[in-house]
Amino acid sequence: MLSGKVFRYGDNVDTDVIIPARYLNAPTPSELAKHCMEDIDPSFAAAVQPGDIVVGGWNFGCGSSREHAPIAIEASGVSCVIAASFARIFYRNAINIGFPILECPEAAKAIQNGDRVSVDTATGVITDETTGQSFQAVAFPPFIGQIIENGGLLKYLKNRRKG
Amino acid sequence: MGMTMTQKILAAHAGLGSVRAGDLIEAKLDLVLGNDVTTPVAVGVFDEAGFESVFDPEKIVIVLDHYTPCKDIKSAELCKISRNFAKRFGITHLYDVGQAGIEHALLPEKGLVAPGECVIGADSHTCTYGALGAFSTGVGSTDMAAGMAVGENWFKVPAAVRVTLNGTLSPFVSGKDVILHLIGEIGVDGALYRSLEFTGEGVASLSMDDRFTISNMAIEAGAKNGIFPVDEKTREYVKDKVQRPWTAYEADADAEYEREVVIDLGALRPTVALPHLPENTKTIDEAKGMPIDQVVIGSCTNGRISDLRIAASLLKGRKVAQGVRCIVIPATQAVSMQCLQEGLTEIFLAAGCAVSTPTCGPCLGGHMGCLAAGERAVATTNRNFVGRMGATSSEIILASPAVAAASAVLGRLASPEEL
């Protein structure tokens, strides 16, 4: 069960604001985390606490293929991202690195900035503890579920090779 | 139920007779691409997983193009990781400063992508090669690592949006205007998870460079790929570049499309995208006049020879306006050489442009032309997100090379027809 305070943003949150290209040559995830969301919310990196949750609107993570984007969000301590929809490369990247994302237009619309939210990644149930509302995220296809269960694409490939 | 062109290529690479939209498949890869930003992350993932070989050193391409020639020590260290990885596994297609160029202009030019092939690249604009009738899509570094290790990857077979092109383009209207117009019509997630399948009698009139520009920005509509049918122009383009056998796939007559968009090429006007989304499009007639500080002509979208020819034709005998900086970046070494041989470089220099060696540089706010707070640029690049080219309060207007060159001369957002 994941639980934390919500940082809410709008539609089309792009990878350039998630981690601006001027920091892409940073050598470590923790270095990237220092600049996460800098161009959309300069206070994010200092305010975010382990477990906190990012909520976005439609097309979250659009733009560049930089895997640095989900890496920076994860390294910031964020436990998962909930959005109305995800841009496809961000969606792939998050799954491939084993970082939890949930697609749920209703939750993305209802949850407000600063709400406390808990997420059961096994069932996809999202609960806004501030308002008491619950939401059901779109389920992953079984194949993608396997990648997530294995902790990412490379671990999945290695485990499959062993098996 | 028939298949789209994209679905046919994916089915063939998955060893399946047919696929349907939504199917999850594992497809064999003909090429895996990375650059100086994404390859080091892939190398880290590859090593951490303990892989000790690559599937085929001839089918991996690494292009050092984003922060090169290296802008600082951190960038130099990243390039070193890519070079060492290439050396370790005998990857011959490593393109470094002096032989390189912007990856998506370079790969077609070197014959590294052929029609009907299945390509992934750890760069979102990998969709460019759809212009050749290939399936190609942008992925992240973990996908690149997996692709390098096992030579295949998973895909969700995309549903399709058919874009029918009719008529022919008017003077000063180009592939850039077609794709900006389309993104304006359908929005930045208008083709999310889908393929854009370009078709119609208007395709034949489009040059390969126009098609590269159109496919290049498929991602800006959220698309997985943007693909063109293979015709005489495609065959002519690959004739001297590709020696290996290749296959031209055609969509079935009864292929399924979720949505259809029809564009009359003859009715299009030069089109621009205002800050801060590529879908904020206006015709030049609606938008001209905005004051500007900088012009960038180049990038994987518009740094090819025909882009530079049209820009030079407008800058010839004219000067870049006082107070405006105009940066011209031929996309590859070969394009740079051609610019020299055709006298274009001299035209740019005489007009007061800065002409650079190939680099992605300013497009992503990396180097070679970042913007200060409050500055505004007209750029032939592909994204105008907040802070993309520099300060968060700077602005980018996306435009064609013709509009960019005219704007450089007139010192404001301008139509080439005004010159």
Judge: B142–A144 Cβ closer than 8 Å, yes or no: no
Selecting from B49, B140, B146 the residue whose C-beta is nearest the C-beta of A67 gives: B140
The class level of CATH for B273-418 reads alpha beta
> Which of B43, B52, B188 would best serve as a mutation to test chain A binding (most A beta carbons within 10 A)?
B188
Is B203 in contact with B229 (CB distance < 8 Å)? yes
* DSSP secondary structure, A70-129, as one string: HHHHHHTT--EEEES-B-HHHHHHHHHHT--EEE-HHHHHH--TT-EEEEETTTTEEEET
Judge: B123–A65 Cβ closer than 8 Å, yes or no: yes
ipTM field: 0.95
For residue A157, the chain B residues in CB contact (below 8 A) are 49, 146, 149-150
pLDDT digits (tens, 9 = 90+) for A32-88: 999 999 999 999 999 999 999 999 999 999 999 999 999 999 999 999 999 999 999
> Which of B78, B124, B216 would best serve as a mutation to test chain A binding (most A beta carbons within 10 A)?
B124
Single-letter amino acid code for the residue at B240: D
Is A162 an interface residue toward B (CB < 8 Å)?
A: no
Q: How far apart are CA B224 and CA B220, in angstroms?
A: 10
pLDDT surpassing 70 at residue A163 = no
Q: How far apart are CA B167 and CA B178, in angstroms?
A: 12
pLDDT tens, position by position, for chain B (419 residues)? 899 999 999 999 999 999 999 999 999 999 999 999 999 999 999 999 999 999 999 999 999 999 999 999 999 999 999 999 999 999 999 999 999 899 999 999 999 999 999 999 999 999 999 999 999 999 999 999 999 999 999 999 999 999 999 999 999 999 999 999 999 999 999 999 999 999 999 999 999 999 999 999 999 999 999 999 999 999 999 999 999 999 999 999 999 999 999 999 999 999 999 999 999 999 999 999 999 999 999 999 999 999 999 999 999 999 999 999 999 999 999 999 999 999 999 999 999 999 999 999 999 999 999 999 999 999 999 999 999 999 999 999 999 999 999 999 999 999 999 99
Is A22 an interface residue toward B (CB < 8 Å)?
A: yes
C-alpha torsion B121→A103→A157→B124, nearest 10 = 0
Selecting from A24, A65, A71 the residue whose C-beta is nearest the C-beta of B122 gives: A65
In degrees rounded to 5, what are phi and psi of residue B37? -90, -45
Annotation: CATH topology of B5-264: Aconitase; domain 3 (3.30.499)
For residue B140, the chain A residues in CB contact (below 8 A) are 65-67, 89, 92-93, 96
Selecting from B67, B74, B386 the residue whose C-beta is nearest the C-beta of A17 gives: B386
Residue B55 confidence (pLDDT):
98
pLDDT digits (tens, 9 = 90+) for A116-161: 999 998 899 999 999 999 999 998 888 888 898 898 999 898 888 7
pLDDT digits (tens, 9 = 90+) for A101-112: 999 999 999 999
For residue B75, the chain A residues in CB contact (below 8 A) are 25
Is B357 in contact with B100 (CB distance < 8 Å)? no
Judge: A92–B366 Cβ closer than 8 Å, yes or no: no
Single-letter amino acid code for the residue at B134: A
Selecting from A22, A24, A63 the residue whose C-beta is nearest the C-beta of B385 gives: A63
Is B411 in contact with B290 (CB distance < 8 Å)? no
For A133, the 3-state DSSP assignment is coil
For residue B388, the chain A residues in CB contact (below 8 A) are 16, 21
Closest CA to A76 of A1, A148, A149, A5: A5
Q: How far apart are CA A87 and CA B223, in angstroms?
A: 9
Do the domains B273-418 and B5-264 match in fold? yes
Residue B10 confidence (pLDDT):
98
Is A2 an interface residue toward B (CB < 8 Å)?
A: no
For residue A105, the chain B residues in CB contact (below 8 A) are none
Is A150 an interface residue toward B (CB < 8 Å)?
A: no
Is A76 an interface residue toward B (CB < 8 Å)?
A: no
- Residue B199 to chain A, least CA–CA distance (Å): 24
> Which of B71, B119, B137, B141 would best serve as a mutation to test chain A binding (most A beta carbons within 10 A)?
B141
Q: How far apart are CA B15 and CA B27, in angstroms?
A: 8
Is A152 an interface residue toward B (CB < 8 Å)?
A: yes
- Residue A149 to chain B, least CA–CA distance (Å): 16
Asked if residue B276 has a cis previous peptide bond (ω within 30° of 0), the answer is yes
Chain A residue at shortest CA distance from B142? A96
* DSSP secondary structure, B149-164, as one string: HHSEEEEEPPPEEEEE
Residue B292 confidence (pLDDT):
98
For residue A24, the chain B residues in CB contact (below 8 A) are 37, 66, 366
Is B193 in contact with A62 (CB distance < 8 Å)? no
- Residue A131 to chain B, least CA–CA distance (Å): 30
For residue A87, the chain B residues in CB contact (below 8 A) are 189, 192, 222
Q: How far apart are CA B250 and CA B261, in angstroms?
A: 19
Judge: A92–B140 Cβ closer than 8 Å, yes or no: yes
For residue B365, the chain A residues in CB contact (below 8 A) are 16, 20-22
Mean pLDDT of A83-102: 96
Is B209 in contact with B401 (CB distance < 8 Å)? no
List, in sequence order, every residue forming a beta bridge with B371; answer none if it has no partner: B390
Return the DSSP state at A99. -
Asked if residue B229 has a cis previous peptide bond (ω within 30° of 0), the answer is no
Judge: B37–A25 Cβ closer than 8 Å, yes or no: yes
Is A97 an interface residue toward B (CB < 8 Å)?
A: yes
Q: What is the pTM of this model?
A: 0.97
Residue A140 confidence (pLDDT):
84
Which residue carries 């693909």 as its tokens? B227
B342's tokens:
């055709």
Q: How far apart are CA B93 and CA B107, in angstroms?
A: 10
Domain boundaries, chain B: 5-264, 273-418
Is A48 in contact with A7 (CB distance < 8 Å)? yes
For B131, the 3-state DSSP assignment is helix
B358's tokens:
């190939």
For residue B364, the chain A residues in CB contact (below 8 A) are 16, 21, 64
Selecting from A40, A89, A158 the residue whose C-beta is nearest the C-beta of B138 gives: A89
In degrees rounded to 5, what are phi and psi of residue B6? -60, -45
Is B227 in contact with B132 (CB distance < 8 Å)? no
Judge: A88–B41 Cβ closer than 8 Å, yes or no: no
B195's tokens:
């393929």
* Cα B148–chain centre separation: 22
Handedness of CA B405, B202, B250, B186 (dihedral sign): positive
